[in-house]
């Protein structure tokens, strides 16, 4: 029967192929629905307001040009104070803040992402599973999905990159949970148009464990050697990302 349809009129063949394309395409669309129970923060979402205000004061003096590459997320970005030099001449707008979690990134998205009208958004946020009221890996995935959906709605056409959670000595006891969160987010990203996963896990290991030489004394945050390893991974990827030359 299928063979006869294909041999039929040109209109019939086109219709069949369009239906097949639609069906196959739907198999690769991401699900923006949550997979776990909702998670309610046990902290105020505006606890980093002073940092956001400091960014706004800086913008009032010199607003970054539109169409750049926004870095959003937590302290691994916040403490990367030389990122604009390390990734020069890429137009990086670093708006990481404190020990933030994804709900806080969502809360401040208007003021730290969308206002810059970037062509590329890079996400790194690792604290969600490590607070007093921790999330499961699935709940971390769900929060990441919420942020992704919000970016797509406000910046249609923007490219998104999600950086994997990094392996840190101080959090190595939750290695398996971190790897599971990475796997879930990677699986979601694989089905999301205009979205890519950046894996920095392996480049930070030595003999199968976090390389202590690339961390500062708290065994959580990186020194310049750690960021140099990130640069080796990120630069060739971001050089292909959409952005406006400054």
pLDDT in tens, 151-170: 999 999 999 999 999 999 99
Confidence of residue 3 (pLDDT cuts 50, 70, 90): very low
Strands 120-124 and 69-73 turn out to be parallel
For residues 63 and 114, state if they share a domain: yes
For residues 17 and 60, state if they share a domain: no
Burial call 142-181: b when 16+ CB within 10 Å, e when fewer: bbbbbbbebbbeebeebbbbbbbbbbbeebeebeebbebb
pLDDT computed for residue 9 by the predictor = 53
181 CB-near residues (< 8 Å, 6+ apart): 129, 137, 140, 141, 165
Q: Domain tally for the chain? A: 2
For residues 107 and 192, state if they share a domain: yes
For residues 21 and 73, state if they share a domain: no
Confidence of residue 30 (pLDDT cuts 50, 70, 90): confident
* Helix, coil or strand: residue 68: coil
What's the CATH number where 51 sits? Answer: 3.40.50.1110
Strands 205-206 and 209-210 turn out to be antiparallel
For residues 22 and 77, state if they share a domain: no
Does some domain include residue 213? yes
Q: Is the pLDDT of residue 20 over 60?
A: no
For residues 26 and 51, state if they share a domain: no
For residues 57 and 134, state if they share a domain: yes
pLDDT computed for residue 236 by the predictor = 98
For residues 230 and 146, state if they share a domain: yes
Angle between helices 137-154 and 175-190 (to 10 degrees): 30
Q: Decide if 197 contacts 234 (C-beta within 8 A).
A: no
Query: 24: domain range?
Result: 1-30
Whole-Å CA distances, 16 to 20, 25, 68: 6, 14, 42
Distance CA 25, CA 215 (A): 43
pLDDT > 90 fraction of the chain, expressed in percent and rounded: 86
Could you tell me the pTM of the whole model? 0.88
Degrees (nearest 5) of the Cα angle 132, 135, 136?
A: 135
């Amino acid at each position: 029967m299928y063979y006869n349809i294909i041999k039929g009129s040109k209109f019939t063949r086109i219709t069949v192929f369009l239906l097949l394309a639609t069906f196959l395409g739907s198999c690769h669309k991401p699900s923006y629905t949550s997979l776990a129970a909702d998670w309610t923060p046990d902290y105020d979402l505006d606890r980093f307001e002073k940092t956001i205000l400091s960014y706004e004061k800086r913008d009032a003096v010199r607003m970054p040009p539109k169409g750049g590459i926004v870095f959003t997320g937590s302290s691994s970005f916040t403490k990367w104070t030389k990122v604009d030099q390390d990734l020069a001449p890429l137009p990086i707008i670093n708006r990481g803040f404190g020990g933030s979690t994804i709900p806080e990134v969502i809360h401040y998205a208007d003021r730290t992402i969308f206002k810059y009208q970037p062509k590329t958004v890079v996400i790194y946020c690792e604290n969600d599973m490590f607070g007093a009221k921790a999330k499961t890996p699935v709940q971390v995935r769900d929060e990441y999905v919420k942020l992704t959906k919000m970016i797509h709605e406000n910046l249609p056409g923007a490219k998104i990159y999600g950086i994997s959670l990094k392996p840190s000595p101080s959090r190595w006891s939750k290695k398996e949970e971190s790897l599971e969160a990475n796997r879930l987010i990677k699986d979601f990203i694989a089905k999301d148009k205009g979205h890519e996963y950046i894996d920095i896990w392996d480049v930070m290991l030595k003999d199968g464990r976090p390389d202590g030489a690339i961390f500062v004394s708290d065994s959580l945050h990186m020194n310049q050697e750690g960021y140099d390893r990130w640069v080796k991974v990120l630069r060739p990827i971001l050089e292909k990302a959409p952005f406006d030359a400054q």
